[in-house]
Amino acid sequence: MLTDDSKQPALICPESGRVLIRYRVGHGLNFHVDHSSETGGIWLNKGAWEALRSKGLHVELNLIFSASYQRQIRTEEYEEALGRRFCDRIGQKDFDKVAAFKRWLADHPKRGHIRSYLLYNIKGDEE
C-alpha cells in the first residue's frame, strides 16, 4: 500500500541530473508521480503502477501532467476539505441529509428556481 509522499524531497532525474517535477495523482490515491521535463521520463514509487491500474489511470498517464488535470485534483481536494469542515460544524447526520439534497438538486431541471427560493425565503438566525 502506498502512503502519502507529500513530504518527500524532490528527486533528481538519473538521466538529465535535473530536478523531477512532482504531480499529484488524486482520485483517492495519495501519492505523486515524478516527471522529467527534460527527458519526458516518468518515475513511479513501488506499488504505484498497480494503484494507477486499480483506478484506470494507467491508460492515460500523460493526462496527470496536464494543467487541467492538476486543476481538477486541486478542486476536488478543496471540495472534500470544505465538506469535512461543514460536517464538523453541523454533524454527520445533518451533513448526510444536506449532501443527499445537494445531489438531488444538482440533477433537478429547475434547480435555479429552487436555489433562489432557499436563498430568499428561509429566515432565521445565522450562526
In a shared domain, residues 109 and 60: no
In a shared domain, residues 61 and 110: no
Residues whose CB is less than 8 angstroms from the CB of residue 106 and which lie 6 or more positions away in sequence, other chains included: none
In a shared domain, residues 81 and 99: no
Least confident of 15-29, 80-94, 99-113: 15-29
In a shared domain, residues 18 and 79: yes
Residue 121 pLDDT class (50, 70, 90 cuts) = confident
Residue 7 pLDDT class (50, 70, 90 cuts) = confident
Q: What is the pLDDT of residue 34?
A: 93
Q: What is the pLDDT of residue 5?
A: 74
Least confident of 24-38, 45-59, 111-125: 111-125
Q: What is the pLDDT of residue 6?
A: 72
In a shared domain, residues 100 and 81: no
User: Average pLDDT of the chain?
Assistant: 90
Q: Which three cell numbers stand for residue 27?
A: 482520485
In a shared domain, residues 50 and 70: yes
Residue 37: is its pLDDT beyond 70? yes
* pLDDT (average), residues 63-78: 94
In a shared domain, residues 13 and 49: yes
Dihedrals φ, ψ of 17, to 5°? Answer: 80, 5
The SS3 of residue 8 is coil
Residue 26: is its pLDDT beyond 60? yes
Q: Does some domain include residue 127?
A: no
Print the domain residue range for 38.
1-89
In a shared domain, residues 33 and 52: yes
In a shared domain, residues 70 and 95: no
Q: Does some domain include residue 27?
A: yes
Residue 104: is its pLDDT beyond 70? yes
pTM of structure: 0.68
From first CA to last CA, the distance across the chain in angstroms is: 42
